A = this chain, B = another copy of it.
Amino acid sequence: MSTDFVTWRERFERLRANKLFETAVIVIIVFSALLIGAKTYEETSRFQRWLLMLDVAVTIFFLVEILIRMAAERRLRDFFRKGWNVFDFLIVTASLIPMDDSEMVLLARLLRIFRVLRLISMIPELRMLITALFKSIPRMGYVALLMFIIFYIYGAIGSFLFASVDEKLWGNISLAMLTLFQVATFESWATAVLYPAMEHYPYAWIYFLTFIFLNAFVFLNMMIGIVLDVMQKESLAIELESGEGEAAELHGLRDDVHSMRDQLDRMEAALASRHGAPEVDKSGQG
């Protein structure tokens, strides 16, 4: 490795760790987000040219920034070891793909939107939040599966029963499940879904009420379950931590007392042997 290279690497490393540089990156990310937002407004052709130029500038800045961060690592492999670096790299390279023809312009724009997500990888608190969110996924997985089974069964029943009532809402199982999701969010569930169904099937309310109660019941239990689950772990950890110190203290105390008893035994024996004292019955001492 040439000395020049090392010097450059160190320079990049210092630059990467620089607070000003970090702030600049965050400012550019926010600016890039505003640029995307600005594109959603009606644009005059002159303004549009400006936006295009700024967009190119932002893209180049991001490219340079990620190259600096890569150059700052001792080995390129180290850069790709951190998940957030891979995340940044994918976002930056995705927005580099040239998409000029008008049909792909939508996709190009979407790829540029995701640059806003770099805000998450730049701010440690948001990164922690996202990590915490990912950790809670497995806990919710089986409840989600149970919910899906409920939706599927009610969806199938609904599409058999109410397909004749409203083809658009209950035409097939996918439409029925979407309608049930609408019911689960309570959006127009009575006026637009329940009452039309009740005109044909007066007992349709049983279907809807059992669905709503089942959903609410599972959801409530999930909420309570998660809160208790996490809490139990936390309180156990606290208990162990604070208990550890006390238990050690108690254990040490007991050891001390035991060694004192041994010493007393020795002293009593010494006293007895010296003075010819009749051996006291010590069987009760345990």
0/1 interface trace, chain A 88-127, chain B, CB 8 Å (1 if under): 0000000000000000001001100110110110010110
Chain B residue contacts of A209, Cβ below 8 A: 181
Chain B residue contacts of A188, Cβ below 8 A: 187-188, 190-191
Q: Decide yes or no whether A256 CB sits under 8 A from chain B.
A: yes
- Picked from B40, B113, B133, B231, the residue with its CB within 8 Å of the CB of A221 is B133
> B268 to A271, Cβ gap below 8 A?
no
Q: A221 → chain B, closest Cβ, in Å?
A: 6
Q: A126 → chain B, closest Cβ, in Å?
A: 6
0/1 interface trace, chain A 243-286, chain B, CB 8 Å (1 if under): 10111011111111111111111111011101101001010111
Within 8 A of B (CB), among A146-187: 146, 149, 152-153, 155-157, 159-161, 163, 171-173, 176, 178, 181-182, 185-187
Chain B residue contacts of A236, Cβ below 8 A: 238
Q: A116 → chain B, closest Cβ, in Å?
A: 6
Given contacts A261-B263, A267-B267, 7 further A-B contacts (CB under 8 A): A37-B172, A116-B149, A188-B190, A238-B239, A263-B268, A268-B270, A271-B271
> A230 to B224, Cβ gap below 8 A?
yes
Q: Decide yes or no whether A15 CB sits under 8 A from chain B.
A: no
Q: Decide yes or no whether A80 CB sits under 8 A from chain B.
A: no
Q: Decide yes or no whether A1 CB sits under 8 A from chain B.
A: no
Chain A interface residues toward B at CB < 8 A: 33, 36-37, 40-42, 106, 109-110, 113-114, 116-117, 119-120, 123, 125-126, 129-130, 132-133, 136, 140, 142-143, 145-146, 149, 152-153, 155-157, 159-161, 163, 171-173, 176, 178, 181-182, 185-192, 194, 205, 209, 212, 217-218, 220-221, 223-228, 230-232, 234-236, 238-240, 242-243, 245-247, 249-268, 270-272, 274-275, 277, 280, 282, 284-286
Closest Cβ neighbor of A282 among chain B residues: B263
> B149 to A120, Cβ gap below 8 A?
yes
> B238 to A259, Cβ gap below 8 A?
no
Cα A36 to Cα B181 in complex, Å, equals: 19
Chain B residue contacts of A129, Cβ below 8 A: 142-143, 146
- Picked from B33, B143, B234, B264, the residue with its CB within 8 Å of the CB of A152 is B33
Q: A251 → chain B, closest Cβ, in Å?
A: 7
Chain B residue contacts of A173, Cβ below 8 A: 36-37, 40-41
Chain B residue contacts of A286, Cβ below 8 A: 255, 259
> A268 to B268, Cβ gap below 8 A?
no
Q: A186 → chain B, closest Cβ, in Å?
A: 4
> B249 to A249, Cβ gap below 8 A?
no
Cα A252 to Cα B261 in complex, Å, equals: 14
Cα A125 to Cα B251 in complex, Å, equals: 40
Chain B residue contacts of A234, Cβ below 8 A: 228, 231-232
